Every structure is written in structure tokens, then in C-alpha cells.
Amino acid sequence: METFQLNNLTITINKEGGDRYSKVSYPARYGRYAEIRHPDYLCHFNLLGEIRHLQGLGQDWPHPAEWLKRTIGNDWIYYASGGYGDVFDLIGEYYIPCFSYAGNSIFTGKPFQNPEVQQALQFRLKLSHLLKSSLKGQQLPDSINTFLQSIIRNSEKALARKGHTLHSVIQGRIPVLPPDSRHVDYEVIPVIIADGCRHNCGFCEIKTGSDFTIRSKQNILRQLTELQHFFGEDITNYNAVFLGQHDALAAGADLVRYAALKAYDIFRFSNSTIKGPSLFLFGSVDSFIETDEETFDCFNRLPYTTYINIGLESADQDTLNLLRKPISAEDVRKAFCRMLEINRKYEYIEITANFILMDDAPPGHHQAFIDMMQHGLKRRYSKGALYLSPLKGFHDRKNILKQFHAIRKGSMMPVYFYLIQRL
């Protein structure tokens, strides 16, 4: 670690954060990063000099333990504490990610309308000019000067171009990340192995707009190689991969295994500063039921903890029909029982499932969920979370919360809200 004072800026490079993601009620930082402390703001940068975290230090900042984070897709997210204990019960994390874009969150705060938050983002725009003027006539160590020059180059326009480059490399957007990626604070490297979705349910508002198509190994290898260049030196701060898009499980065991192992080697996860590699992907009811034991044996031997999220939505046929989801309630129950079986059998695989919340759910929706739960489990079970997703455009927040607590009370498994986060 090296620190230098430049006028009113305290600059520190090569700071060491945590080496394992953990559930903590304070602003934790992971991997290697750099810091600039201004009297009013604290900024954290990755190893490429790109800003990643921004926090106000003044007494008017909304909360001393809240901060802004910039994603690799160039979105800003505000992390609100919201009362810690209650928040953890709702989403399984101590902080509420508040997005600068429309989503399905039941949380009503609008931090991006807060003047202090807006001023912090304006400070970020001015930082490059501040550094340029502060550097005039200064003799700095080469390491500090190199770092500051990288920040100056990473202007707002340059960071916006970087976000576009990411989507160009993977040839698509990531409209939603698996809810399980919360375990790594959504810090995943996205690799698309199959476009579209097999079901294209009528209720879904995050469709990619394309039919289900499996990509070639050549395409996947190109993505991996270009992503290695995209992340550069900062790749050491990553230890997780998301295989997209909405039903990567349907791409088949061979392609999932190929992409996972190639990513592990090319991204050098064995040397990552953050331990415990993770693999995330979505699966449909059909692809999950069709996946055989040999495939799960294969996944369990991968050098990851593998999380597979399945969109069940409802165990009630009337609700499935209303959602225009082309599967049967019987298949939903079958997939749920399979989920319990896989979670019990495999140490390094965790299957999770999604269910829908809506303002006017058919009367059988909640009861079918409880009946399925109580039939499948005789005791409480901690592995395999259930995520409840409010349909976008819901109007009655109190009713949604009432539904959530009713389901959570009757559940034998962990139940959390699913917040739609893109990349």
C-alpha cells in the first residue's frame, strides 16, 4: 500500500479488501483497489483506474454507511441501509440496491433524487479536472502518477464507451442477473452461451426478443478471450461467471462445462484475490426436468459452487394460465421436488426457484405454494432459497408485502424478494 498527499486529496493505491464475500452490515470492499479521499467524498477505483464506489463524507449525506457503486455496464446503484434487520429478512442482504432505472423493487426510496447524491455524481464528473489542475508542477512517484493518469483518461464518455464495449463483446445485454448472484454482490463476468428463452412467457418483461438459440464453442471462446482483455489487470478482482441468457441450462451439459472450465482457465480464477469461485445460470422448468443425474454429477465436479435458478412462478394452474406460462402445475411440482433432491445430494450445487407476486393473484396461487412446500418438506431447510418477484407495475405495495409475509411464514425454506438487476 502506498499513500500520497496531493493538496486536499489523500491518494492510496494497492489497498487490500476482503478475500471472501460475506454478509456484513457495513461498507465492505473486496480485492485490490485504490482510494482518493477528498474532504467531502471518498472514491474507490479498480485496478484500471475506473471508479467503482463513491460515498459522501459530509453531515448531509443520507447515511454514513451508504454509498454509490458503478457497475461494469456503467449503471450507478445506491446501496441503502434501510434498517438492516428488516432489510435482511426481505432480501437476504444488509443493504438495499436502489437502481437508477425502472425495476420491480418494493422499496419506495428514491436516493437519486437526493441533492447530496446528485452532488456526489457531479463531483465524479469534476474529479478529472481537479486532478489535472492539482498535478501541475508536482513531482509524484511513478506509481501514483500512473494511477492518476488512468483516472483522468477514464472520463464519463470513456466509461460509457466501456459499457457499450461490454455489450458488444457478448453480443447482447443482460436484462436480469440471477438472484443468487447477490452472494458475490452481482460482481460477475457475463458470458452468453444461449440467446433467448424456450418459454417466452406472456407476463415476462425482460425478454431479449429472440428465439432460443445455442451459441457455438467458437463464439464462446471469442467472448472469453475478449472479456479477458476487457477486464485487463482488474480481472484478479473477479471470481464469478454468469452463463446467460435466460435458459443456459438448456444449452446442454457439454456446452455449460466447456464455458465454465474455459472461463476458469482464461480468467485465472485459481489466482483470484477473492476466493471461492461461483458459477451462476438460469434454467427453465423443462430444461431442469430434462437434466439427468450424470450432468449434475459433472456440475458438482466443476471448480465452482454452482447456482442454478429456475423460474417456477406458481404451482397453481389458473395462475400459470393467467401468466401465459406454457407449462403445467404438475411440472412445477415435479421441478420443485427435483430441486429438493438435488440440493440434498450435491455439495457444490444449489438450485433456487422464483415465484410471482401480483396485486390480484388467483385465489389458488398462495395455497398451492404452501401445499407444495409442506408436502415436499417435513422440516425447515436452509439450502435452496425461494425468490418472490413482484410483477412490474404493481400498485398495492402493502398487499405485496402482505403476500410476501404470508408465504414466508408458511415456507420451510428461505424466502426473499427478487430485485431485478441488469448488467
pLDDT over 90 at 358, yes or no: no
155 and 178 housed in the same domain: no
93 and 188 housed in the same domain: no
pLDDT over 80 at 200, yes or no: no
d(CA 373, CA 367): 10
Amino acid at 249: L
237 and 141 housed in the same domain: no
Q: How many domains does the chain fold into? A: 2
Q: Which residue has the higher pLDDT, 377 or 197?
A: 197
pLDDT over 70 at 393, yes or no: no
pLDDT at 107: 84
Q: Per the confidence metrics, is the pTM higher than 0.75?
A: yes
pLDDT band at 202, cuts 50/70/90?
A: low
> What is the domain extent for residue 207?
171-417
Four-CA torsion 345, 347, 348, 352, nearest 10 degrees: 60
258 and 122 housed in the same domain: no
Amino acid at 40: D
Q: How far is CA 9 from CA 177, 178, 191, in A?
A: 36, 38, 38
Q: How far is CA 312 from CA 245, 329, 332, 414, in A?
A: 17, 9, 6, 16
Residue whose entry in the numeric block shows the C-alpha cell 461467471: 241
Residue 294 lies in a domain: yes
Cβ-contact 155, 207 below 8 angstroms: no
224 and 302 housed in the same domain: yes
Q: Find the range with the poorest average confidence among 84-93, 146-155, 264-273, 350-359.
A: 84-93
182 and 317 housed in the same domain: yes
- Sheet containing 96-99: give its strands across: 2-6, 9-16, 32-37, 41-45, 51-56, 67-70, 76-80, 96-99
Q: Which residue has the higher pLDDT, 310 or 209?
A: 310
pLDDT band at 207, cuts 50/70/90?
A: low
pLDDT at 312: 96
Tens of pLDDT along 236-295? 999 999 999 999 999 999 999 999 999 999 999 999 999 999 999 999 999 999 999 999
Domain end, chosen from 97, 127, 159, is at: 159
149 and 283 housed in the same domain: no
**CB neighbours of residue 340 within 10 Å:** 18
pLDDT at 211: 82
216 and 96 housed in the same domain: no
